[in-house]
């Protein structure tokens, strides 16, 4: 796991901010994100933890289906959620779902507060994990890959990028759907790990886990290269901003 705490031992002292979370994509990933925010917070009592207002809405139309040109556009739903979170007092917004960032423009058009991009933060973390010109391996879902979110952000780094094949993306999505269905078995974990190892075998020295379902069955300890969990990256950034450390 490539992770370094962005906080010292200090806790918040009146300058904390209220985090708005656009959640439900998927439900397990949102709960996992919140638990990682708690784990990243240097708190010794309830009152020192990060304040969050969460709209956990699993009824948001399928992002994967929308990226394939079918189904309902999820953008307006996410924009409405963002507006409600701002109205509820949120100082900034986060969204623990990677492919949903394809509709970031809809969200930002509906609010006047900052929106923190999981894509930008994860790419920055991946670059920081390797001080040289190491190749970055992108492990994601078909919808996120089609949207080109990470490819564009990674291209700006000038680093070599190793991506999954079409067959690997299809297999990845099949395993992600099993996780969304509650299957966190060794079979699912081993399947995703094998797919990640294929990127390593093709030269990746940093793995970007660009799906918030991945950390439900994968961890950095499974790999010999740096493993950048987009969930962990967003959790650390959220804590830093909420506690006024950035």
Catalytic site residue 144? no
96 within 8 A of 231, measured Cβ to Cβ = yes
Q: Are residues 106 and 173 in the same domain?
A: no
Whether 3 is covered by a domain: the verdict is no
Give the residue from 139, 152, 131 showing the smallest Cα distance to 227: 139
- Whether residues 112 and 187 share a domain: the answer is no
129 catalytic, yes or no? Answer: no
- Tokens 């006024």 sit at which residue? 244
State how far the Cα of 28 lies from the Cα of 213, in Å rounded to an integer. Answer: 8
Is 13 part of any domain? no
Assigned domain for 14 exists: no
Does residue 1 belong to any structural domain of this protein?
Answer: no
Looking at the fold, whether 143 and 67 belong to one and the same domain comes out as no
Strand blocks (E) in the chain? 19-23, 52-56, 92-94, 136-139, 161-162, 206-209, 226-229
Neighbours of 108 (CB within 10 A): 16
Looking at the structure, tell me whether residues 136 and 223 fall in a common domain: yes
CATH number at residue 137: 3.40.50.1860
Encoded tokens for 49:
């933890």
In a domain, 9, yes or no: no
Do 101 and 112 lie in a common domain?
Answer: yes
- Residue 7 inside a domain? The answer is no
Same domain? 156 vs 212: yes
Residues 186 and 124 in one domain: yes
* Catalytic residue selected from 2, 97, 129, 144: 97
Domains: count for the chain: 2
Whether the Cβ atoms of residue 93 and residue 20 lie closer than 8 Å to each other: yes
Residue 181 lies in a domain: yes
Identify the pLDDT of residue 1.
60
Same domain, 136 and 112: no
Same domain, 161 and 64: no
Domain membership of residue 206 (yes or no) is: yes
At residue 43, the pLDDT reads 94
pLDDT at 3: 55
Question: 109 and 67: one domain?
Answer: yes
Q: Which of 2, 129, 144, 211 is catalytic?
A: 211
pTM of the complete model = 0.93
Please tell me whether residue 91 adopts helix, strand or coil conformation: coil
- pLDDT tens track, the chain, 246 positions: 665 444 444 444 457 999 999 999 999 999 999 999 999 999 999 999 999 999 999 999 999 999 999 989 999 999 999 999 999 999 999 999 999 999 999 999 999 999 999 999 999 999 998 878 899 999 999 999 999 999 999 999 999 999 999 999 999 999 999 999 999 999 999 999 999 999 999 999 999 999 999 999 999 999 999 999 999 999 999 999 999 988
Pairing of strands 136-139, 161-162: parallel
Distances 171 to 82, 114, 168 between C-alpha atoms, Å? 32, 35, 5
Give the C-alpha separation, 98 to 149, whole Å.
Answer: 9
Query: Domain range spanning residue 69?
Result: 19-117+233-242
Do 42 and 68 belong to one domain? yes
Indicate whether 209 and 174 sit together in one domain. yes
């Amino acid at each position: 796991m490539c992770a370094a705490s962005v906080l010292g031992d200090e806790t918040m002292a009146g300058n904390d901010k209220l985090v708005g979370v656009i959640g439900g994509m998927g439900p397990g990933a949102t709960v996992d994100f919140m638990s990682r925010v708690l784990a990243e917070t240097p708190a010794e009592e309830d009152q020192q933890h990060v304040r969050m207002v969460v709209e956990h809405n699993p009824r948001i139309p399928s992002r994967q289906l929308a990226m394939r040109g079918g189904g309902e556009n999820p953008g307006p739903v996410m924009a409405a959620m963002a507006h409600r979170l701002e109205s509820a007092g949120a100082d900034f917004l986060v969204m623990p779902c990677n492919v949903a960032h394809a509709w970031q423009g809809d969200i930002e058009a509906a609010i006047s507060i900052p929106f923190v991009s999981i894509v930008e933060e994860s790419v920055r973390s991946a670059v920081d994990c390797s001080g040289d010109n190491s190749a970055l391996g992108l492990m994601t879902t078909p919808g996120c890959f089609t949207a080109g979110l990470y490819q564009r952000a990674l291209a700006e780094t000038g680093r070599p990028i190793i991506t999954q094949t079409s067959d690997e993306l299809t297999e990845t999505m099949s395993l992600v759907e099993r996780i969304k269905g509650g299957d966190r078995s060794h079979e699912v974990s081993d399947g995703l790990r094998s797919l990640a190892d294929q990127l390593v075998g093709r030269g990746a020295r940093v793995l970007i886990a660009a799906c918030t379902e991945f950390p439900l069955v994968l961890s950095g300890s499974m790999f010999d290269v740096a493993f950048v969990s987009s969930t962990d990256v967003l959790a650390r950034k959220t804590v830093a901003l909420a506690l006024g450390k950035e």
